[in-house]
Structure 1
């Protein structure tokens, strides 16, 4: 049911032989030592984008001139001994859902006029610019980030770095594909139902949906408080470092949380010994691909081998997909409504069906769904009094064929039908991290999801780092990198 169109290569034997193989932390260490400069790193990344992006369609906009100007200013700061901090000179891509001064924010749709003017940065973009990061460009998203794969009538489909004939997932698929190919070590995405974690699982990257409000959002998402912003990186340490920069209040977001007291890198290496971890193989109602079951169980055994107290237990809630769909598609209907009745004929047909469903909902439907959400949040809050963390598969399946909303032969085309582990934690606003936990026999990545109680982002990252440290999945590189420029 989920078989790809052909047998897939798995990995290269060596990483790229240039600066694109380095993490953000390694780049900054090199800048500080004088081994290389931000200009060197940016040139390597831009060359890699030129060579590989045509294979996967990760970017909708690349501004090489502006990126090199950012890099030159950063290099001068390092030469003067005045770097702005741990983000100075790090190449980063921005999902095309975030406002970015000077660049169009198209949100994956033809409904938005690229002419602008584009005079404002969204909060995470503003924090990155203040930190001296090198902004490369905007990454691909489906229209308004509405679904779990990345394709749109306007910008096409984003392929998987491990095999371009497979989907990268979505809606932050462009961001994940870019990171996994070394097209910048940092990217930021949005996650309203799994949109950071889904592509992280499919591409073998690290994706964090933080506690709601930790990373401010502006303008407000039409999907309301389901929508989070978070990092996509190759390693957990890079995710923690990026979160340090973007998890800062912004006066434009009325629901933003206060700044964290310390760094998310503090205590990151403390391990999982003594933590009470609940392992749920299927949340009590999901059927997984057998290879997903095998790989996730092996990952849980790694955590137990590091001293975690692991118990196999389901959190005990029913699938909240009906409530999630009400909240999600009410938001979709509202955003498309603003472009007039003719907009329905210009958007993704699947989005149109969702908008038509959302337009028929009532205030009572919305309040009923909100009540389900509140009950679920209370249930998970009580659950985490007994268990520090919950681990599950990130997804029940590995990546499927590009250009489809669901695997061939799947019983439903709804993206929520194959993402049952992600959207519940948007409803509850808990931090949830996807880390790579291996490959299927034919070379498709699989993700392990680590969920914590609200505000336990540091603990979630710590557990992810403990698992990552005991494995080598972050060190694997797609074979596509061996065929530069093809």
Structure 2
């Protein structure tokens, strides 16, 4: 099997191949590293690669598989991590020039620790905007991250490096973080899969300065891989006092049970958004697939208002505390957009403002809880627009540069802490991916994944391969 074919297999397919002896973790890791060498240049998704450590881990995994004693289905899977997650022995720079690259780097985050324990082959770190603050991935420290389908477009953010890496075969999965859409935005823009689980389902350490808005989540090319990775990431870690009880059932169990009989609401705009017509057409067609699979689907708005002002208070007061740690001159050294947002929305917020924002959040949670008494799931576009040019904070001619102005369907579900899954569901006429968002009530992560699996069983959007993976052969004239 060629490196290209091996690099584009899912984690599930890799584990099956290891078990059957068709290829080894060493070969899969070599394929992932080759993908980095061949495809990272145009997109700038990987900021750090430890080839020596990766191959050493892959050799150990190969021995375990050969002896019939793998540590689990993640054993030997090449894996990169977003550079907000602590990784022992590797720098975690959070894309900020405020952070020295001297360490010490002696702690693993819970996600990193679980992956090591499961035998995953950790090979590098992926890009993020500074402190993960916005919906595109660019920074003073590491530059901008482009899209697998067109490097001239943004990959989204803040987990854009992980989405681009996964989309291009630099490992079949990654772990990102999501405080307002940061795994789902890039998944929609890059044609990949990402789940923001119920808050607390995946332990986090150290605690996020963005508080209970911030989640960790799997980023993959298939729903089945997301379920598989959830089984690992949801294992307990005593350092997170917010963490929920570890699930007693695998997320893979029941994944293929379908959607027949489910009550599913489709809200194209949540009652306040506006969509690109091609995005809305693709999402509407995706909703019809689930209806044809047996779900009872109706177009219904949940009856909520845009909570963006409250979200700004909660988000940017957290960002202000992050930057405050680095001294009185730190605002002059960070991403100018972040500095401006902190000044406008963070520094001037009072305790009363924060409590008012929290009250808006609580009311939103109550309303969505009541909505899900009638509806099992809610479908929306993940994003109202497709990807726009790389290096820009917003599309050309957009009325605001602030990322929340073009992500109206993601941050509300960080505020309510509901599980939300983004799936690829089509392309615009010029080849830009479109994402479908599946939202469930809190603790219904397995149901959300089940609906996503039902969709992927009936479509092949997640199997589409970016041109960077299989570049067209030159014509005789070009050669």
Normalising by the residue count of structure 1, what TM-score does the alignment of the two structures yield? Answer: 0.96
Query: Are 2:338 and 1:321 equivalent residues in the alignment?
Result: no
Query: Are 2:294 and 1:307 equivalent residues in the alignment?
Result: yes
CA distance in 2, matches of 1:133, 1:41: 12
Deviation (angstroms), 1:485 = 13
Match of 2:237 among 234, 250, 261: 250
Match of 2:158 among 171, 176, 181: 171
CA contact (8 A) 1:51 1:485 kept: no
Deviation (angstroms), 1:80 = 1.6
Matches within 5 A, 1:225-236: 225-236=212-223
Match of 1:425 among 399, 413, 436: 413
Matches within 5 A, 1:365-384: 365-384=353-372
Secondary structure (helix, strand or coil) at the match of 2:338 reads: helix
Match of 2:90 among 103, 121, 140: 103
State the partner residue of 1:237: 224
CA contact (8 A) 1:51 1:484 kept: no
Query: Are 2:427 and 1:439 equivalent residues in the alignment?
Result: yes
CA contact (8 A) 1:16 1:481 kept: no
Deviation (angstroms), 1:187 = 0.2
State the partner residue of 2:274: 287
Matches within 5 A, 1:434-473: 434-473=422-461
CA distance in 2, matches of 1:483, 1:445: 18
CA distance in 2, matches of 1:217, 1:412: 32
Query: Are 2:6 and 1:19 equivalent residues in the alignment?
Result: yes
State the partner residue of 2:391: 403
Give ranges in structure 1 of 5+ residues lacking alignment: 1-14
Query: Are 2:105 and 1:118 equivalent residues in the alignment?
Result: yes
State the partner residue of 2:352: 364
Matches within 5 A, 1:148-187: 148-187=135-174
Deviation (angstroms), 1:18 = 2.8
CA contact (8 A) 1:215 1:256 kept: yes
User: Relative CO higher for 1 or 2, CA cutoff 8 Å, sep ≥ 6?
Assistant: 1
State the partner residue of 1:10: none
State the partner residue of 1:263: 250
Give ranges in structure 2 of 5+ residues lacking alignment: 475-479
State the partner residue of 2:477: none
Per-residue Cα deviation, 1:320-375 (whole angstroms, up to 9, x for no partner): 00000000000000000000111111111000012213011111110100010001
Deviation (angstroms), 1:428 = 0.1
Which aligned segments of 4 or more residues in structure 1 are displaced greater than 3 angstroms? Answer: 483-486
Deviation (angstroms), 1:483 = 3.7
Normalising by the residue count of structure 2, what TM-score does the alignment of the two structures yield? Answer: 0.97
CA distance in 2, matches of 1:263, 1:255: 21
Distance 1:256 1:442, change over 3 A: same
CA contact (8 A) 2:146 2:153 kept: yes
Deviation (angstroms), 1:17 = 4.0
Deviation (angstroms), 1:482 = 2.8
